[in-house]
Structure 1
Amino acid sequence: MVKSLPLRSEVKVEETWNLQDLFKTEEEYNEAVAELTKEVDAYALKFKGNIVDAASAIEALKGYERIVANMVPVGAYTSLSASTDQTNDEAQMRSSKFGSTAAKINSQLSFVNSELSELPAETLEAAMNQSEDYENFLEKLIRKKPYQLHPEVEKTLAAFSATFNAPYGLYNTTKMVDMSFDDFEVEGKQYPLSYVSFEGDWESEPDTAKRRAAFEAFSAKLREYQHTTAKTYDMQVQTEKTTADLRGYESVFDYLLFNQEVDKSMYDRQIDLIMEELAPHMRKYAKLLQKVHGLDKMTFADLKIPLDPNYEPKITIEESKKYIDDGLAVMGEHYTNMVDRAYDERWIDFAQNKGKSTGAFCSSPHGYHPYILISWTGSMEDVFVLAHELGHAGHFYHANAEQNVFNARPSMYFIEAPSTMNEMLMANHLLKNSEDPKFKRWVISSIVARTYYHNFVTHLLEAAYQRKVYERIDEGGSVNANVLNSLKREVLEDFWGDDVEINDGAELTWMRQPHYYMGLYPYTYSAGLTISTQVSKRILKEGQPAVNEWIEVLKAGGTKSPAELSKMAGVDITTEKPLRDTIAYIGELIDQLVDLTEEIESVKN
């Protein structure tokens, strides 16, 4: 039975994260913001118009690095405190106020990139040779030189950054504050519904009548907000297109992929190969679900049900720690110590409460420990989600310790590799420790349903849909709810064919993800999982040497391109091979599920 969510003030403190590690009091936070604005004023006075040679460039970058480092805890505290309760007026007003402050600071500091970009390439190269710390930063700046605008234009654009980020804030407000779900009814009985309970419980509810009724009620509420949400999204993509045009990129794709340090062929390959070659495997999985559950037909609303709901272990927060420690032990003591600290020092926000952001994420402020948000439901799936987020934490725990604030963050293309790696290690550990066919089937179905379905299907179908949206925008078009519904339905029907009925409401799935406000993010999940699948196979086969190489990759942070980072771990993502191997591996897992199901059924009969 799904209960109504408590208010944030009603949850246990030990199930919340400790933001006092960033600032002990509101007063301390306000003082840091005031100090930051003073520091920026003094910095601009000293350096504006005075970055003229290699020596002054290095001196300016030292001061700039200090300011960026001081902005980190303020920005993290602002966003993290708002994410746990979107209905908290104080947190939302703080967030809005800091958004304006940050826009002003970015505008004041825009001269740094402008003045550096205007220096001759040989001067920048001289600065790189004289300071290893800023080599990576300056190399990226040289690469960006052709797309840099006049300093006054850069200043104006930076001043408007809060406005340009407004669609994301508006999306979240619509979703988490305005949208309120009524109870739904099945056979005369009422059941409560919320965003969190639908995605955390009802979507995978084994009772078909309840699951489909919850899907209908959830979709009906989404539909009421489709036009506002579509308009919000159109604002986002039009802003990106205008920026791409202003800066002289050939297309909005080139603009959005530029910072990822990959070309469009790698982006297209990820989408096209999965749409074409993974689809048959996933249709086979859908048919298996239908057969095992005895469904009259397989609909979109049925795709998230577990293969064996009766075998889904319930896990407490405390029990999850042992599972994760054991599963990630292969990564070494330093890594598992970080996991233990995450639990013991309240780096993780487990609580379920009204107004909390949906899904899960990890924020890793440079100079501080990571923070993880999750809404703990007690299912084993939560253990995989938490292992995933601890993968992000482990990545930046290593990168932040080794790299300065400019160098720690790698390309978005690579960002999901360390997180999905942990899911693979967890699953492999569980499989290794049992010969029970029911347990093995449960573990493999968890990998397929959680790790691969989530990253290679849910997010990849978002990516295929997103590509269609940007193609339309690139041609000068716009989007509304009807267009977005039509594009989403088309992608779902292409992938699932006749094996899954794309029922009413499925087309509204585009309304559910914040990823569309983060550039070309959705496809990177499958890119990261392609890398981590191949590296996890190496770790299983080769042991410690492969682990050591992977730790070095984590430490490298953003100092290398995705292709270089992957190569360090023994994977060549410039070819189709890793992706084809991963798709074949998913096919093998689904075949194993079919075989195990036959074995279990034959014993039953």
Structure 2
Amino acid sequence: MVKSLPPRSEISIEETWNLESLMASPEAFDATLEEIDQETAAYAEKFQGQITDAQSALEALEAYLTIAEKLVAPGTYVSLSYSTDQTDTKAQMRAGKYSAFSAKIGSRLAFVTSELLELPEDTLKQAMSESKEFEGYLKKLLRKKPHQLHPAAEKALASYSSVFQAPYELYNTTKMVDMDFPDFEAGGKSHPLSYVSFEGDWEAETDTELRRAAFKAFSDKLRDYQHTTAKTYDMQLQTEKTTADLRGYEDIFEYLLFNQEVDRTLYDRQIDLIQTELAPHMRKYARLLQKAHGLDKMTFADLKISLDPEYDPEITVEESKQYINDALGIMGTDYLNMVERSYDERWIDFAQNKGKSTGAFCASPYGDHPYILISWTGRMNEVFVLAHELGHAGHFYHANREQNLFNARPSLYFIEAPSTMNEMLVANHLLKNSEDPKFKRWVISSIVARTYYHNFVTHLLEASYQREVYKKIDAGENVNAGVLNELKRGVLEEFWGDDVEVTEGAELTWMRQPHYYMGLYPYTYSAGLTISTQVSKRILAEGQPAVDGWIGVLNAGGTKTPVELSKMAGVDITTEQPLRDTIAYIGELIDELERLTEEIEQQN
């Protein structure tokens, strides 16, 4: 039974993460900002106007790296504190204070990049040859040279950084603070509703009347805020378009893909191939769900239900440890030690409470350990969610240890490969340990419904919609709620065809996703899962050599491009073959679900 969410103050400390290694107290946070303020002022006094040759460039970068490392802890502390309870006034004010402080420091230090890029290219190349530590940083900096503005303009833009972040913060405030969901009626009873309970429970509720009533109530509340949310999103889009034009990019897509270090062909291929070639497989899956549940029709509100609800057992946090350890054991003792510590040292926030961010994420601050946010409902599929976030944790546990701060983070295009890899390892482990057709069907349906549906369908349809939005913005247009609703409904109807009725309210799904405030992020989920699907097959076939190769990829962090990292892992993403193979694999899984269902029905 879904219950109303308690305030954060009533949550047991064992369910929460421990942020003390980041910042011992709010007072320590204030003291840290004061220290950084003084240190950056002294840095500017020493280096501004003095970066004139390779030696002074490297000296300035060495001290700059130290400051950048010190900024990590307070920034992460305010973000994580706020994410667990966005109704907390003190956390709100602290986040606002840091945002303004960060803008001030960014403006003060903007001269570093400007002065480096004013040096002759030969001087920068000399610095690169003399310092392996900063070679990667300077190489990426040189790529940006054509898009660098006058130093005064760069300083001014840095001063406005907190303003540029405002749409995302406004979106979260609307979603997590102002939006209050009333109870809804179904089956003659009243039921509580919230963002967390809808996405964690009601979407997967097996009682059709309850599930569809929850969807309607949820959508009705979203609709009340559609115009404010659309205006907030348009502010974000116009800022991105202005920045792209100001910096001389060909279009907004080139600007947003630039830091991902991939070209437009990889982006478009990921969307186009999945839209056309995965759709028939997923429509077959939708028909299978409809038949299994005896539904009068298949609607958008029914797509998250389990194929076999009886095989969706509840699981405690403590019980999840064994599944995670057994599945990820192939990654080695060092990796498993990281997993063990994440439970024992409270790196994970499991609580469900009012004001907590929806979904799940992993933050991996340099110089500290990773932190994972999840709202644990006790459903077995959350083992996959936790494994996913531990994949991010394991990635940066390795990369942060092996690389400096400037080299640790890879392109956004690759960021979801290590996370989805862990989901594949969980699935492979579970499949390997049972021949029971009902259990096998449950595992495969979990792979399809959780791993592939979430990453290949949900996020890909977001990406397809997002591309249409950006096309309008690139053409000099604005968007409002009506335009966004129409675009979202069009993408959903194209993908699902006549097999799924796109329920009224489904068009408002664009309001639920914070990824739209993070550039071209949604498509990278399917990109990462394409890579991890192929690597997980290698691990199954080759064992330890493939694992060792994958650990090497994690260690490399951001020192290589997505294409180079993928090749290290044995996958060539410059061709469409890995994506076609992955789509074919999803089709095979759905065919196997049909076969197992027939076998089970014959036995009964």
Q: TM-score, normalised by structure 2?
A: 1.00
Partner SS state of residue 185, structure 2: strand
Matches within 5 A, 1:292-303: 292-303=292-303
- Give yes or no for the alignment of 1:545 onto 2:545: yes
> Take 2:120 and 2:26, find their aligned partners in 1: how far apart are those partners?
45
Counterpart for residue 242 of structure 2 = 242
Write the letter of the residue equivalent to 2:384: F
Looking at structure 2, the residues matched to 96 and 104 of structure 1 have their Cα atoms a distance apart, in angstroms, of 13
1:158 equivalent in structure 2: 158
C-alpha separation in 2, matches of 1:161 and 1:491 = 33
CA displacement, residues 363-388 of structure 1 (integer Å, 9 cap, x when unaligned): 00001000000000011111100000
- Between the aligned partners of 1:184 and 1:133, the Cα distance in structure 2 is 58
Corresponding letter in the other structure for 2:295? L
Answering whether residue 286 of structure 2 is matched by residue 305 of structure 1, we say: no
| Structure 1: distance between partners of 2:557 and 2:340 | 23
Q: Which residue of 1 aligns with 2:189?
A: 189
In structure 2, C-alpha distance between the alignment counterparts of 1:462 and 1:23, rounded to whole Å: 36
Q: Output aligned runs, 1:375-394, within 5 Å.
A: 375-394=375-394
Q: CA separation in 2, counterparts of 1:218 and 1:263?
A: 38
Aligned to 2:110: 110
What is residue 467 of structure 1 aligned with on the other side?
467
> Quick one: distance in 2 between partners of 1:375 and 1:519?
25
> Residues 329-369 of structure 1: CA distance to partner in whole angstroms, max 9, x if unpaired?
01011101100000000000000000000000000000100
Work out the CA distance in 2 between the residues paired with 1:132 and 1:15: 43
SS in 2 for 1:372: strand
Aligned residue for 1:126, secondary structure, equals helix
CA deviation after TM superposition for structure 1 residue 57, in Å: 0.3
Secondary structure of the equivalent of 2:149?
coil
Distance 1:216 1:26 in 2: 41
Q: What's 2:88 paired with?
A: 88
Q: Deviations over 1:177-225 (max 9, x none)?
A: 0000000001320000000000000000000000000000000000000
State the shift of 1:40 in Å.
Answer: 0.7
CA deviation map 1:311-341 (0-9, x unaligned): 1111100000110000000101110110000
**Shift of the alpha carbon at 1:310?**
1.1
Percent sequence identity over matched residues?
Answer: 74
List aligned pairs for 1:392-471, cutoff 5 A.
392-471=392-471
State yes or no: 1:27 paired with 2:10. Answer: no
Q: Which amino acid aligns with 2:468?
A: K
Deviation, 1:26, is 1.7
In structure 1, C-alpha distance between the alignment counterparts of 2:98 and 2:133, rounded to whole Å: 29
1:71 CA drift (Å): 0.1
Secondary structure of the corresponding residue to residue 20 of structure 2:
helix
| Mapping for residues 464-543 of structure 1, pairs under 5 Å | 464-543=464-543
Q: Which residue of 2 aligns with 1:74?
A: 74
Q: How many residues align?
A: 604
Write the letter of the residue equivalent to 2:291: K
Which residue in 2 is equivalent to 1:260? 260
- Aligned to 1:315, what secondary structure does the other structure show? coil
Structure 2 residue 386 is matched with structure 1 residue 369: no
- Cα-to-partner distance string for 1:537-569 (whole Å, 9 max, x where unaligned): 000000000000000000000000000000000
Aligned pairs for 1:200-349 (under 5 A) are 200-349=200-349
Distance (Å, rounded) in 2 between the aligned partners of 1:6 and 1:484: 34
Q: Distance in 2 between matches of 1:99 and 1:27?
A: 17
**Whole-Å Cα distance in 1 between the matches of residues 81 and 315 of structure 2?**
27
Cα offset, 1:23, TM superposition:
1.4
The whole-number CA distance in structure 1 between the counterparts of 2:302 and 2:292 is: 12
Match of 2:564 in 1: 564
Secondary structure, aligned partner of 1:463: helix
Structure 1 residue identity aligned to 2:34? A
Q: What secondary structure sits across from 1:366 in the alignment?
A: coil
Cα distance in 2 for residues equivalent to 1:412 and 1:25? 32
* 1:29 Cα deviation after fit: 1.5
Name the CA distance, whole Å, in 2 between partners of 1:489 and 1:49.
54
Distance 2:145 2:379 in 1: 49
Q: Which amino acid aligns with 2:455?
A: N
| Distance in 2 between residues matched to 1:601 and 1:40, nearest whole Å | 69
| Pairwise CA distance, 1:455 | 0.3
Distance 1:39 1:346 in 2: 32
Structure 2: give runs of 5+ residues left out of the alignment: none
Shift of 1:25: 1.7
SS in 2 for 1:564: helix
Q: Is the 8 A contact 2:171 2:229 kept in 1?
A: yes
Distance between the aligned counterparts of 2:254 and 2:4, measured in 1?
Answer: 45
Aligned to 2:171: 171
Distance 1:500 1:26 in 2: 50
Moved over 2 A (4+): none
Q: Distance in 2 between matches of 1:90 and 1:28?
A: 15
How far, CA to CA, are the matches of 1:106 and 1:22 in structure 2?
21
For 1:190, what is the secondary structure of its paired residue? strand
Name the CA distance, whole Å, in 1 between partners of 2:421 and 2:311.
Answer: 25
Verify the 8 A CA contact 2:99 2:162 in the aligned structure 1. yes
2:187–2:210 contact (8 Å) kept in structure 1: no
Alpha-carbon distance in structure 2 between the residues aligned to 1:141 and 1:105: 20
Q: Distance in 2 between matches of 1:187 and 1:579?
A: 44
Paired position in structure 1 for 2:578: 578
**Code of the aligned partner of 2:476:** G
Alignment root-mean-square deviation, CA: 0.4
The CA deviation at 1:28 is 1.5
State the match for 1:55 in structure 2: 55
